DNA sequence: TTTATCCATTGAAATGTTTCTATCTTTTCC
DNA sequence: GGAAAAGATAGAAACATTTCAATGGATAAA
Protein backbone atom coordinates (compact mmCIF):
# COMPACT_ATOMS: atom_id res chain seq x y z
CA UNK A 1 0.00 0.00 0.00
CA UNK A 2 1.36 3.39 -1.01
CA UNK A 3 2.25 5.84 1.75
CA UNK A 4 0.08 8.87 1.15
CA UNK A 5 1.69 12.28 1.54
CA UNK A 6 0.18 15.09 3.57
CA UNK A 7 -0.79 17.23 0.61
CA UNK A 8 -2.74 14.38 -0.96
CA UNK A 9 -4.46 13.59 2.35
CA UNK A 10 -5.44 17.23 2.61
CA UNK A 11 -7.00 17.20 -0.86
CA UNK A 12 -8.90 14.01 -0.20
CA UNK A 13 -10.18 15.40 3.09
CA UNK A 14 -11.35 18.51 1.28
CA UNK A 15 -13.06 16.41 -1.38
CA UNK A 16 -14.91 14.52 1.36
CA UNK A 17 -15.86 17.63 3.32
CA UNK A 18 -19.05 18.49 1.49
CA UNK A 19 -22.56 17.05 1.92
CA UNK A 20 -23.24 16.86 -1.81
CA UNK A 21 -20.05 14.93 -2.48
CA UNK A 22 -20.71 12.48 0.35
CA UNK A 23 -24.20 12.04 -1.07
CA UNK A 24 -22.71 11.24 -4.48
CA UNK A 25 -20.50 8.58 -2.90
CA UNK A 26 -23.44 7.03 -1.08
CA UNK A 27 -25.40 6.99 -4.36
CA UNK A 28 -22.55 5.11 -6.02
CA UNK A 29 -22.74 2.60 -3.18
CA UNK A 30 -26.51 2.40 -3.49
CA UNK A 31 -26.41 1.86 -7.25
CA UNK A 32 -24.20 -1.15 -6.75
CA UNK A 33 -20.99 0.48 -7.73
CA UNK A 34 -21.66 2.07 -11.11
CA UNK A 35 -23.32 5.44 -11.06
CA UNK A 36 -24.56 7.38 -14.07
CA UNK A 37 -24.84 11.14 -13.94
CA UNK A 38 -28.54 10.98 -14.66
CA UNK A 39 -29.02 9.15 -11.35
CA UNK A 40 -27.62 12.21 -9.61
CA UNK A 41 -29.87 14.70 -11.41
CA UNK A 42 -32.79 12.71 -10.03
CA UNK A 43 -31.47 12.56 -6.46
CA UNK A 44 -29.59 15.79 -5.93
CA UNK A 45 -31.34 19.09 -6.08
CA UNK A 46 -28.63 21.10 -7.79
CA UNK A 47 -28.08 22.44 -11.28
CA UNK A 48 -26.10 20.31 -13.73
CA UNK A 49 -22.92 22.44 -13.61
CA UNK A 50 -22.87 22.24 -9.82
CA UNK A 51 -23.03 18.46 -9.86
CA UNK A 52 -20.37 18.48 -12.55
CA UNK A 53 -18.18 20.62 -10.30
CA UNK A 54 -18.51 18.14 -7.42
CA UNK A 55 -17.82 15.15 -9.65
CA UNK A 56 -14.69 16.90 -10.84
CA UNK A 57 -13.37 17.24 -7.30
CA UNK A 58 -14.00 13.57 -6.63
CA UNK A 59 -12.36 12.45 -9.89
CA UNK A 60 -9.39 14.81 -9.54
CA UNK A 61 -8.51 13.18 -6.25
CA UNK A 62 -9.22 9.77 -7.84
CA UNK A 63 -11.70 8.91 -5.11
CA UNK A 64 -13.99 7.91 -7.95
CA UNK A 65 -13.04 6.75 -11.43
CA UNK A 66 -14.91 7.88 -14.54
CA UNK A 67 -15.55 5.68 -17.53
CA UNK A 68 -16.91 6.95 -20.80
CA UNK A 69 -19.80 5.05 -22.28
CA UNK A 70 -20.88 6.74 -25.46
CA UNK A 71 -22.37 10.09 -24.56
CA UNK A 72 -22.57 9.18 -20.89
CA UNK A 73 -20.05 8.86 -18.12
CA UNK A 74 -20.32 6.36 -15.32
CA UNK A 75 -18.41 6.38 -12.07
CA UNK A 76 -17.13 3.80 -9.64
CA UNK A 77 -15.44 4.03 -6.24
CA UNK A 78 -11.68 3.71 -6.19
CA UNK A 79 -11.05 1.51 -3.17
CA UNK A 80 -7.31 1.92 -3.46
CA UNK A 81 -7.41 5.65 -2.72
CA UNK A 82 -9.73 5.09 0.24
CA UNK A 83 -7.38 2.43 1.58
CA UNK A 84 -4.36 4.68 1.18
CA UNK A 85 -6.21 7.47 2.97
CA UNK A 86 -7.13 5.08 5.77
CA UNK A 87 -3.44 4.20 6.00
CA UNK A 88 -2.64 7.87 6.39
CA UNK A 89 -5.21 8.19 9.19
CA UNK A 90 -3.82 5.14 10.97
CA UNK A 91 -0.46 6.88 10.92
CA UNK A 92 -1.89 9.83 12.84
CA UNK A 93 -2.91 7.67 15.76
CA UNK A 94 -0.84 7.37 18.89
CA UNK B 1 -17.42 0.89 17.34
CA UNK B 2 -19.98 3.64 16.84
CA UNK B 3 -21.46 4.09 13.37
CA UNK B 4 -20.56 7.60 12.34
CA UNK B 5 -23.23 9.65 10.59
CA UNK B 6 -22.66 11.56 7.38
CA UNK B 7 -22.78 14.99 8.98
CA UNK B 8 -20.08 14.07 11.47
CA UNK B 9 -17.91 12.55 8.75
CA UNK B 10 -18.28 15.77 6.79
CA UNK B 11 -17.12 17.85 9.76
CA UNK B 12 -14.15 15.60 10.44
CA UNK B 13 -13.17 15.73 6.78
CA UNK B 14 -13.35 19.50 6.90
CA UNK B 15 -11.23 19.58 10.05
CA UNK B 16 -8.61 17.46 8.28
CA UNK B 17 -8.66 19.47 5.06
CA UNK B 18 -6.14 22.12 6.02
CA UNK B 19 -2.34 21.98 5.97
CA UNK B 20 -1.94 23.73 9.32
CA UNK B 21 -4.29 21.33 11.06
CA UNK B 22 -2.56 18.28 9.57
CA UNK B 23 0.72 19.78 10.72
CA UNK B 24 -0.66 20.12 14.24
CA UNK B 25 -1.65 16.46 14.22
CA UNK B 26 1.79 15.42 13.03
CA UNK B 27 3.37 17.53 15.79
CA UNK B 28 1.25 15.72 18.36
CA UNK B 29 2.53 12.47 16.94
CA UNK B 30 6.11 13.75 16.97
CA UNK B 31 5.90 14.97 20.57
CA UNK B 32 4.96 11.48 21.64
CA UNK B 33 1.30 12.15 22.06
CA UNK B 34 1.07 15.19 24.30
CA UNK B 35 1.41 18.53 22.61
CA UNK B 36 1.63 21.90 24.33
CA UNK B 37 0.54 25.02 22.51
CA UNK B 38 3.98 26.53 22.88
CA UNK B 39 5.38 23.72 20.71
CA UNK B 40 3.12 24.96 17.93
CA UNK B 41 4.18 28.58 18.21
CA UNK B 42 7.72 27.36 17.62
CA UNK B 43 6.85 25.17 14.63
CA UNK B 44 4.02 26.93 12.88
CA UNK B 45 4.47 30.32 11.35
CA UNK B 46 1.09 31.78 12.18
CA UNK B 47 -0.20 34.28 14.71
CA UNK B 48 -1.49 32.92 18.02
CA UNK B 49 -5.21 33.51 17.26
CA UNK B 50 -4.86 31.61 13.99
CA UNK B 51 -3.39 28.58 15.73
CA UNK B 52 -6.09 28.89 18.36
CA UNK B 53 -8.71 28.86 15.60
CA UNK B 54 -7.27 25.65 14.14
CA UNK B 55 -7.04 23.96 17.52
CA UNK B 56 -10.67 24.83 18.09
CA UNK B 57 -11.74 23.04 14.91
CA UNK B 58 -9.79 19.95 15.90
CA UNK B 59 -11.19 19.91 19.44
CA UNK B 60 -14.76 20.65 18.35
CA UNK B 61 -14.73 17.51 16.24
CA UNK B 62 -13.00 15.68 19.11
CA UNK B 63 -10.15 14.62 16.83
CA UNK B 64 -7.90 15.87 19.59
CA UNK B 65 -8.65 16.15 23.29
CA UNK B 66 -7.56 19.14 25.39
CA UNK B 67 -6.44 18.91 28.98
CA UNK B 68 -5.87 21.88 31.21
CA UNK B 69 -2.65 22.00 33.14
CA UNK B 70 -2.51 25.18 35.10
CA UNK B 71 -2.20 28.02 32.65
CA UNK B 72 -1.36 25.72 29.78
CA UNK B 73 -3.37 23.33 27.68
CA UNK B 74 -2.03 20.12 26.26
CA UNK B 75 -3.56 18.01 23.55
CA UNK B 76 -3.65 14.36 22.65
CA UNK B 77 -5.03 12.43 19.68
CA UNK B 78 -8.41 10.82 20.13
CA UNK B 79 -7.95 7.45 18.48
CA UNK B 80 -11.61 6.59 18.89
CA UNK B 81 -12.78 9.34 16.56
CA UNK B 82 -10.17 8.38 13.98
CA UNK B 83 -11.28 4.77 14.16
CA UNK B 84 -14.94 5.72 13.77
CA UNK B 85 -14.05 7.86 10.78
CA UNK B 86 -12.09 4.97 9.28
CA UNK B 87 -15.19 2.83 9.78
CA UNK B 88 -17.22 5.39 7.85
CA UNK B 89 -14.70 5.32 5.01
CA UNK B 90 -14.76 1.52 4.90
CA UNK B 91 -18.50 1.79 4.45
CA UNK B 92 -18.04 3.84 1.29
CA UNK B 93 -16.08 1.12 -0.43
CA UNK B 94 -17.63 -1.27 -2.88
C1' DT C 1 -2.11 42.56 44.94
C1' DT C 2 0.16 43.58 41.05
C1' DT C 3 2.27 41.88 36.98
C1' DA C 4 3.21 38.56 33.56
C1' DT C 5 1.77 34.63 30.88
C1' DC C 6 -1.29 31.74 28.38
C1' DC C 7 -5.12 31.22 25.77
C1' DA C 8 -9.79 32.91 23.83
C1' DT C 9 -12.64 36.30 21.49
C1' DT C 10 -13.86 40.12 18.35
C1' DG C 11 -14.09 42.20 14.12
C1' DA C 12 -12.25 43.03 9.64
C1' DA C 13 -9.55 42.02 5.30
C1' DA C 14 -8.16 38.60 2.04
C1' DT C 15 -8.98 34.43 -0.03
C1' DG C 16 -11.46 30.21 -1.37
C1' DT C 17 -15.80 27.53 -2.29
C1' DT C 18 -20.37 26.77 -3.90
C1' DT C 19 -23.93 27.73 -6.88
C1' DC C 20 -26.21 29.55 -10.78
C1' DT C 21 -27.24 31.05 -15.91
C1' DA C 22 -25.49 31.05 -20.30
C1' DT C 23 -22.78 28.95 -23.58
C1' DC C 24 -19.55 25.51 -25.73
C1' DT C 25 -17.91 20.78 -27.11
C1' DT C 26 -18.61 16.17 -28.14
C1' DT C 27 -21.27 12.36 -29.38
C1' DT C 28 -25.50 10.07 -31.13
C1' DC C 29 -29.33 9.34 -34.11
C1' DC C 30 -32.15 10.57 -38.01
C1' DG D 1 -25.04 16.95 -42.49
C1' DG D 2 -28.45 18.75 -38.78
C1' DA D 3 -30.87 18.30 -34.47
C1' DA D 4 -30.81 16.57 -29.90
C1' DA D 5 -28.55 15.01 -25.69
C1' DA D 6 -24.80 14.69 -22.19
C1' DG D 7 -21.16 16.95 -20.03
C1' DA D 8 -17.80 20.73 -19.54
C1' DT D 9 -16.47 25.56 -19.12
C1' DA D 10 -16.78 30.66 -18.09
C1' DG D 11 -18.02 34.25 -15.31
C1' DA D 12 -20.47 36.24 -11.55
C1' DA D 13 -23.07 36.33 -7.04
C1' DA D 14 -23.42 34.47 -2.47
C1' DC D 15 -21.32 32.38 1.19
C1' DA D 16 -17.55 30.32 4.13
C1' DT D 17 -12.80 30.08 5.73
C1' DT D 18 -8.37 31.79 6.97
C1' DT D 19 -5.63 35.19 8.80
C1' DC D 20 -4.30 39.08 11.59
C1' DA D 21 -4.11 43.07 15.16
C1' DA D 22 -6.26 44.38 19.16
C1' DT D 23 -8.22 43.23 23.34
C1' DG D 24 -10.24 40.38 27.18
C1' DG D 25 -10.25 36.68 30.92
C1' DA D 26 -8.09 33.47 33.88
C1' DT D 27 -4.27 31.58 36.25
C1' DA D 28 0.46 31.73 38.21
C1' DA D 29 4.41 34.03 40.04
C1' DA D 30 6.53 37.73 42.43
Q: What is the pLDDT of residues A33-86, one digit of tens each?
A: 688 888 898 899 999 999 999 999 999 999 999 999 888 999 999 999 999 999
Rounded distance, CA B35 to CA B37, Å? Answer: 7
Q: Is the CB of B53 under 7 A from strand C?
A: yes
Rg (CA), chain B: 14
Separation CA B21–CA A53 (nearest Å): 25
Q: Which chain B residues contact residue A23 at CB under 8 A?
A: 6
Q: CB of A16 within 8 Å of any CB in chain B?
A: yes
User: Closest to B93 (Cβ–Cβ): which among A9, A16, A82?
Assistant: A82
* Cα nearest neighbour of A25 on chain B: B92
Task: Give the pLDDT band of residue B2 (cuts 50, 70, 90).
Answer: confident
Q: Does B1 touch chain A (CB under 8 A)?
A: no
Model confidence over A73-91: pLDDT tens digits? 999 999 999 999 999 999 9
Better pLDDT: A22 or B69: A22
Note whether B10 contacts A22, CB cutoff 8 Å: yes
Whether the model clears a pTM of 0.85, i.e. scores above it, the answer is yes
Identify which of B58, B78, B59, B66 has the alpha carbon closest to the alpha carbon of residue B15: B58
Rounded Cα gap, residues B86 and B4, in angstroms: 9
Which chain A residue's Cα is nearest to B86?
Answer: A86
Amino acid sequence: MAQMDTKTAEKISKALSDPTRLKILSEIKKKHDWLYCVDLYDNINLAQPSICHHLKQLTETAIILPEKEGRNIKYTMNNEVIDDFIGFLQGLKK
